[in-house]
Structure 1
């Protein structure tokens, strides 16, 4: 027999959902976009301040911090893939997520390329010796995870090891923060036209415009006062960072939608998982490296 509402006597609809429904938001907790805003601001500042301090004064600590965050991102991705019964070989993947950034920092681009190839080879051998089924899917998922997280993140290490590279990374981080902050504020206030409703319904063109505007201000200021370059360099960095960060955010949203998960993890209150914060940076890091090597060769 169906349960009936006490007030109306009508049958209550019952259904199954992969995720429990959220409780109604209370003042001071959930924002319009669904975030716990005070927690998000506090966690963001707690992450950004020590990372910038390490970048400026103790680069090796910054490198190890990024390597650990990359390893956590790999772990979160592997857990998310298990929802579809895709098992990533965790031990070699975690080892590779540490090895790639260190190889990039101490040995440069050639060492990063060697470490990437070696990591995929070890992953292949490791999984081939495992009698569990679905070895092909497991190897492909592991390779995808390594190339998505630690490999792309290691481009930031290539910048750090260059003269003046720590200032470029600091600018990149500030631009990513500006992209998220201004995009969130403008999108939550004025957003009406979704960019990709089937992938990320809450990301709007208005928010994207806010990201561009805020990043341009930050980019120009950093270019002139931090990097000592003309205004056009700041404009180029701002637009390129917002474009790549947005692409990274949409890419992760598409992966989560395919897997049927809301967040990659719950380790960061107000944000979700580490990968929910790294999604923009992993795409923006190689962009900054490519710009410094091609269009703006004097950036470093």
Structure 2
């Protein structure tokens, strides 16, 4: 099946989709993006993604190109035209096309691109055996809370992880040795005392939408203690469990950090429980959207 992309008001074959050479997203990384999971044809945590997208646009002073109802219609049309049942949709908005100049153009018109694709189910071996992460210096700018397309440090870190045989790289603040987040995920540990710990969502990290959903799940589950605070690499290596969250990885257990085994070297009970609860969360949203259709 040929894929279809949305580019500034037109649905076009994916191989023909293109933006202007002077699009500021291409020349300056002057843009933002969102990735939304699609499950059973439903957009998962859509409201949270839209809130974050609008916030990112506002922080960069990029004009919102349309209202939410129009955007929601286009997203669903892109999913429908690509016949995506389980997969993801990618949304990118930039400040638009203008003669190259660092300052904002006077009459910028926001550029909008969307694509959707099917994704394969998670590797059963990864969920059974757990994942490895490595630690790297965090070399990003100081506004990681904005979901911009400026991802070169993340790409370098992800490539370093791949070359090390790891799923992800956890970035470390050189000032205090604490973990900020992964290159495309949020980082979590479970302490020996049973506390579920993740960093507070400030300018140092992107507040993941799956992170927010997991926090809500934790709040509903009795017996789980939760705290938002920084943790060091050493604390993570000595934790009872570790895991990561993201739109594409959901909740994935971590069993090795650099060369150190986490806990007993097997996926922990908390990570497994939260993953199962998140999958239920996705199923419930799919059912709700199906009933409303």
Larger proportion of strand: 2
TM score, norm. by length of structure 2: 0.29
Larger CA Rg, structure 1 vs 2: 1
TM score, norm. by length of structure 1: 0.29
